[in-house]
Amino acid sequence: MSDDRSKGIILIGAPGSGKGTQAKKLKDQLGYAHISTGDLLRAAVKEGTALGQKAKGFMDAGQLVPDDLVIDLLEEALQTPEAKAGFMLDGFPRTMPQADALDAVVTIDKVIDLQVPFELIEERVTGRRMSPSGHVYHIEYNPPKVDERCDVTGEALYQRSDDTPEKVRERLAKFDSETRPVIAHYQQKGVVVAVDGVGDPEEVFTRIMAVM
């Protein structure tokens, strides 16, 4: 029997492991629809939608947004023609209920497990700067050409409200308790590939392409 469900890959890893950075490169190279639940939630908060108002407090506290809200958001994002042709998930699934909901509607070909030791994460996350249109910088590892301005749009860069040392620790604890079981779930299915996320982003990208 042929499988006509949408197919895609998952980029999974701790906060600050470089999922967003690598997802943008993969999208350019492979053309998959990039679905980041973090980006979708931040957009909802910015627009002040009902979902954004519910999600904001959880995000600011470094907590996970409740499963039912995120699953609805993801299911909607999977409906676009681009996603039906092939998708790449960044930041979803993060809990077992999310993984079960996903497995019920699509086929996951591969899970890229981006591995970065926790001791390197805090520096990456607290040094991150974002442009309102979603471009990601780092004050040391990927600085903009003009201080505090986006290279692409010229907009002023900002720091995410959850990118403080205390919130990073909260987020890493959630990764350990909620997301590691998701990685184990896909390991049992034989679709997980571990990739070393330490080093220059271009080097990491080369490692990912080698396993695609």
Note the residues at the interface with ligand AP5 (CB under 6 A). Answer: 13, 15-21, 37-38, 41, 58-59, 62-65, 70, 91-92, 94, 98, 124-125, 127-128, 136-138, 141-142, 162, 171, 199, 201, 204
The residue at minimum Cβ distance from ligand AP5 is 38
Tell me the one-letter amino acid at 154.
G
Q: Between 4 and 19, whose beta carbon lies closer to ligand AP5?
A: 19
Instruction: Kindly state the smallest distance separating residue 192's Cβ from ligand AP5, in Å.
Output: 17
Termini Cα distance of the chain: 25
Residues forming the active site = 19, 94, 128, 160, 171
Task: Provide the residue type at 33 as one letter.
Answer: A
CB of 2 to ligand AP5, least distance (A): 30
Comparison of 3 and 202: residue with beta carbon closer to ligand AP5: 202
Here the tokens at position 68 are 């039912």
Closer to ligand AP5 by Cβ: residue 96 or 191: 96
8 burial type by CB count under 10 A (0-12 exposed, 13-18 middle, 19+ buried): buried
CB nearer to ligand AP5: give 6 or 63. 63
Q: Which is nearer to ligand AP5, 17 or 131 (CB)?
A: 17
